[in-house]
Each structure stands twice: as structure tokens, then as C-alpha cells.
Structure 1
């Protein structure tokens, strides 16, 4: 059962990276991120869009092996499909291919999300298409190479029946930051900072601690989110020690 979470881009930001509202919502267009780096999951790509994507690109949902994160309401005409028709009439779904994720599970989650979008918007399965359909680009590349074939993916969609859940808002509204342990050099801390900011899409800072350095994240709302951030840092082997502090 895929969890769907919203982290919606502000209207002011959306107007910079879309054709505005008025999406006809006739197609669901499936993409892959082509970002195989560790940690390049749905949360990271959603934060990238939320914080202001420097690329001329946008998409409605990012899906990984844990969740689907929505960045734009369906009415926005995102820049993703490579053609006027695809952008103006498509709901864009990006599937993560990060090396530390489970690709097949991500595809299963994507199938469950697509099935829900079909039901919600009245889109027929004949209008579930690859990015390649509109632009000729080799995308979704791993699916097109047969890692999970398009036929298998369509079968997953057909087999799905209501296997989605909307994440309930957290009742914990306290804010927390994650602090790494210390690094012997500022350069080591800057290397970690670069990953947190540009791969994970987080706000982060460097702090001096005596003769050493540590990295501090921006705020997370709720202890569960903060713990998820701390675990992500450890999983990516950016720090052996992390601490969560109340804001």
C-alpha cells in the first residue's frame, strides 16, 4: 500500500517552472529520474522542487520504494513530457532509481499511484504512457531496458485495487534539527553539506565546534520526520553519529 504525501510547491514558485494551471488531465506520463545516487529518493526530489529547482523542469509526483510525494496539484501544466500536448494534458509521475532503493518496489508503488490517479481523474489505461510517447526520449530508461517491462507495469496497475493511503497530518508540530558528529576538517563537513543540499534537497549549515566542524540541518516538523532525516544521513554513510535537537 503506497503512502501518498503532499509537499506542494508554492504558487509563486510553480509559476516559474510550469505553463500555469489548466491541465486537461487526459494522460498519466511515467518517467524515471535517472538519478542513481544513494539518497536520491522521493523526498529528496520533492524537496528539490519545493526549494526551487534550478532546472527548467517540473513534475507532479515522485515515487520511490517507500512513498509517493506530490509536488503540484493536477491542475498545473508541468514541464516534463517534452511536448506541448504531453505537458498540457499530462499528470507527470517520476519513479526513483536511486542505488540504495528497491527498484521493483518503487515500480509497484508507482503502479498503485497510477491506478489511484486513473480512478480520481477518469483516465483510461490506454492513456497511461511513457515519456518516450511524447518526446522520443529514452525514458523511463530502466523500464524500457526490461528491468521491469512496460507490459509488467501495466499488469501491476490492472492488479491494483485501492492500495493507497493518504498520509494523515502529524499531530507533532514541534520542530527539530539533526546535527552530525564532528569532522576534523572544514572540507569534510563541506562535502557532507554538499550532499545534504544538492542530493537530498535539504537546507543545511556548517557549524564550528572548537577545532572541529559539524553539519546542522534545517528544521523538520515532528520527531518522526527528524528521525527519518537522521536515519537517511546514517544510511548514506555521511556520519556515524547524529543528534536530534529541539528548535
Structure 2
């Protein structure tokens, strides 16, 4: 896995969408987001939680084909597993299934993340379970359908346990923005703005540049996150040019 990044909710935010602190940390619970929309990656789901999820749901990590983003420290009892035991004793990991992502790579990253959390918390492989284990929900849906079978995934986790290394959180706390190249009409800029705000869940706004227009995002913490944002804009073909600038 290339990156494990933290975008933690404040205690006041977390108290609104969890059962509070005191997680017994006996299980690792694997989910899938079930969100196949383009752009519905780990960053988008982490921002959804950080900006105030309208659903009564929460989870510790979201992982995609490029990174994992942590929203809660392990001690929080998140609302994800559908039962008191699962919520109060589980560390919840959501795997992205966005159509513009690589599902195989996302599952490999999830396996590496599970192995890392197992090592950190002393959780045995027998306590790595599906969301279905606690609530009977058909989740993780693709795993249960055999796209990558559960036995294959567990084997991937086991293969990672011998080589997993602790990763330190990114120390770059500087603020950055992403700025697109110019658009010839304000309508074109507004179309991009709509995607950034409503599909990606970002803060963004339009800036005039002479007779042209640019779109600029809100702030990212750290160059890694900002560069990932710029790459996401270009991958979605919203702009040919997306530059990272200091906030």
C-alpha cells in the first residue's frame, strides 16, 4: 500500500456518529462501500465523514486502489457492523468499489491494512470477519459473490502478516489547494465545480482569470493529499491541467 493517511474527526464530531470511546478491539470487520459511482474513492468517503455524514453510519478506515484514509482512532465504537458486539468490539474497514478504481488492487491494499491493524492491536486472523458475520447483511457484496472469495482474501492477509511494517502518519501539515487550468466559459467551470462539490464532496469555487475561468479547491493537508486530489481531477477528465498551490 502506498499511503495510509489520517483525516480524523474531532471528538465533538465523532460523538455524534459513534457510541463513544472504549472499543474492545477484538475484531476487524471488512465491508464494501457499495458505491460504484466514478470518484467514490477513499478520499471522497473520508471527506463525507469529516464534513458530516447525513447517514447514521461511521467507520474507521476507507481503502481504495491507491490509499487508505483513517477517519477514527481504533478506540471509537463506530456504527457500521449492525450489532452491538460488532460495533463495540470491531475496527471497521470499508473497501471502495468505485467504477473508475481497480478493485483487485483495492482488495490487496485492504489485506495489507488488515494485516497492519492485526499487528498493532494483537487481533488474530480468526477474528477478521465480514460485515455479514454480525448482521447477516450481504456485505462485502463482491467478496460474497466470489469476485475475490473470502478464503482468497484471508490468504492475502496471511501473506501480508509476515512482511507488514508500521507506517507513520504523514507529517506534512502544510495546507495546499488544487487549481485547474482555464475554461473559456463560466458554464464549463460551473460543470466542473458541480462535480467537485457534489460527487467528490469537496469545497471548491470559481475564480476569474481575465476573460477565462478557473476552479480552485478548498484546502488539503499535506502535499500527498493535494497531489492525489490533482490526479483525481485529471483522471476524471475534468481538466487537462491541475496544479497544486500553497494555500
Give the alignment's TM-score, normalised by structure 1.
0.90
- 1:209 offset after TM fit, Å? 4.2
> 1 CA distance for matches of 2:46 and 2:137?
23
Indicate the SS of the match to 2:51. helix
Q: Deviations over 1:170-202 (max 9, x none)?
A: 45x543322223345544333322322233232
Post-superposition CA distance 1:25-70 (Å, at most 9, x none): 1111100011122222112211221222222111001111122211
Alignment map for 1:147-166 (pairs within 5 Å): 147-160=147-160, 161-166=162-167
Q: How many Å apart are 1:143 and its aligned residue?
A: 0.8
Q: Deviations over 1:199-223 (max 9, x none)?
A: 3232211234455543210123444
CA contact 1:40–1:199 (8 Å) conserved in 2: yes
The alpha carbon displacement at 1:166 in A equals 1.5
Q: Where do residues 113-128 of structure 1 align in structure 2 (5 Å cutoff)?
A: 113-128=113-128
Contact 1:23/1:76 (<8 A) preserved = yes
Partner of 1:220: 220
Q: Within 2, Cα distance between the matches of 1:31 and 1:225? A: 24
8 Å Cα contact 2:25/2:91 also seen in 1: yes
Alignment partner of 2:232: what SS?
A: helix
Instruction: Please tell me whether the aligned partners of residues 61 and 71 of structure 1 are also in contact (alpha carbons under 8 angstroms).
Output: yes
Corresponding position of 1:237: 237
Q: Which runs of 5+ in 2 are unaligned?
A: none
Indicate the residue corresponding to 1:175 in structure 2.
175
> How do 1:186-225 and structure 2 match up within 5 A?
186-209=186-209, 212-225=212-225
Distance 1:189 1:143 in 2: 39
In structure 2, the residue matched to 1:129 is 129
Q: Secondary structure at the match of 2:198?
A: helix
Matches within 5 A, 1:48-197: 48-160=48-160, 161-171=162-172, 173-197=173-197
Structure 1 residues 138, 232: CA separation in 2 closer, same or farther (over 3 Å shift)? same
Partner of 2:13: 13
Shift of 1:80: 0.7
Note if contact 1:176-1:223 (Cα within 8 Å) is conserved in structure 2: yes
Gap change, CA 1:121 and 1:17, over 3 Å in 2: same
Deviations 1:99-156 (Å, cap 9, x if unpaired)? 2221111111111111222222222222211111111111111111111000101111
Gaps of 5+ in 1: none
Count of paired positions: 246
Distance 1:168 1:205 in 2: 29
| Alpha-carbon contact 2:116-2:166 (below 8 Å) kept | no
Q: 1:140 to 1:132 in 2, by over 3 A?
A: same
For 1:241 and 1:146, the matched residues in 2 are separated by 39
- 1:43 partner SS: helix
Counterpart of 1:16 in 2: which secondary structure? coil
Alignment partners' CA distance in 2, 1:174 and 1:4? 17
